[in-house]
Every structure is written in structure tokens, then in C-alpha cells.
Amino acid sequence: MTHTLTGARLRRCLQTVGLATAFSLGAGTLFGAANAEPVALVLDKSEGVEVSSFTELMPGDVVDLGADGHVDLLDYAACQEVRLKAGTVTVSSSGYSLDGGQEKVLRAGNCLKADADANTDSAAKGLTVTLRGLTLSDKKAAALMLRFDDDLRDQYDTVFVSFEGGAPKRFEVLDNILTDMPSKEDDEEVDVELFLQGKAPDYGVVMRKFTIDPAEVGRKTAVVIVK
């Protein structure tokens, strides 16, 4: 659940909010082993392939694509979107493998990585890889999904997401977050600001900002890996 805060309420919240309830990353997997790290995110799939969009693939998962089925993945390690067609996908701790099919790189993924010195303005860098290449005219992005890596999960437990300088939406834990983006014209980009709040005892806050071009995403949901 999200709550929209005004600027004044956000400042008060950042001063007083307590530690969020601990959570497990086990939800949303097929057959993932406990405490295993996810390898990839399912972005899209063809009819008949038994895996849901936005499911995270975990070590031990097996996906049967059949003779002509396909699945589009966001490979976390390589930060790129790939299409796997036909055959069987097997996931291990070292990544995924495809037996009896073909793999095609669609384009670079969308990864946000701040400068190592989080105390300077340079920590609010934009996306290190931009979404370019594959554009589907009927798949303009209307939503944003944020996937936070484990280092950020260890340091922060709350994130506020603001579009175009508007009132932030608050998310209590750094789970995979899905939220609607504001509707804009086809040729307009969307500015996004993230305010990451640290865990007790200091509750320190860092900001990350980047820009999404909904028309260039090629899917209804833009997925950003935040590192």
C-alpha cells in the first residue's frame, strides 16, 4: 500500500519514521530455493508458457518453452533484455541456460547506479544504461517497476517515489515496486526522483534521479534496476 505525502509531511516523516517490518524476498518465484538470489525477471512470454510476467527466476527453476514458445527476460547480472525461444530454460546460481533453443539479446537493460560517494550531488546520477533499440508502437510504458539490489536492501528500508517533482509515494520496504507513471504526450519524458531512507538508528536519506522516455521503453512497464 502506498500513501501520497506532501512536501511538509515528507520532511516530518523522514525525521520520525521507525524501522519497517523485515521482509522476505521469497515471494514471486516459481520453485526458488530458500535464501537463493534471483537471476532474472520475466518481462513477457508467449501463450502457453507456464510462467507469469514479472516473476523472478530463481536457482532450481525450469521453464519449458516447447517447440516455438518464447520468454523475454531481464538478466540481472548482465543488465540486458533477452529473448529465449524454444527449448528448456534451466536456472542455477551462476545464471540461466537454454537447451534446444535460441537466445537473442534485445537491448541493454535499465540500471541506475549512483556514485560511490553518497554524500555528494554526484550520487544522484542518471541511468547508466538507457533503454534504446526495440520500440513497439503499441507498448508505451505507463508503469514503472523498481528492483533494488541486496546492498541497498541492507542499508535502506523505505523509499519515496516522486514523478515530475510531485508528491512522493511512500513504500515501506524495498520489495519490487510497481507504480503508475503520470500520463504524458508521446514525445515527453518523465523525470523520476527516489528518496531512499536508511534503517535505524540514523535514518539517513539519499536521493537518486533519472528520466524515462515512455515511448522508447517498448513495453507497458519500464523496469529499472537500482544499485
Q: Say if strands 205-212 and 62-75 run parallel, antiparallel, or are unpaired.
A: unpaired
Contact 130, 222 (CB under 8 A): no
Indicate the DSSP class of residue 112: E
> Could you report the per-residue pLDDT of 3-46, keeping only the tens digit for each?
444 444 444 444 433 323 222 333 333 443 456 889 999 999 99
Rounded to two decimals, what is the model's pTM?
A: 0.73
Residue 9 phi/psi, 5-degree rounding, is: -65, -35
CATH of domain 3-23+110-226: 2.60.40
Contact 131, 107 (CB under 8 A): yes
The structural domains of the chain, with segments of one domain joined by +, span 3-23+110-226, 40-108
C-alpha cell at 205: 536519506
**pLDDT score recorded for residue 1:** 45
32/35 Cα distance (integer angstroms): 9
**Could you tell me which residues are beta bridge partners of residue 45?**
71
- Radius of gyration over every alpha carbon of the chain, rounded to an integer in angstroms: 18
125/77 Cα distance (integer angstroms): 20
> Could you report the per-residue pLDDT of 102-160, keeping only the tens digit for each?
999 998 888 887 643 444 444 444 555 444 444 555 578 899 999 998 889 999 999 99
**Could you tell me which residues are beta bridge partners of residue 74?**
41, 81
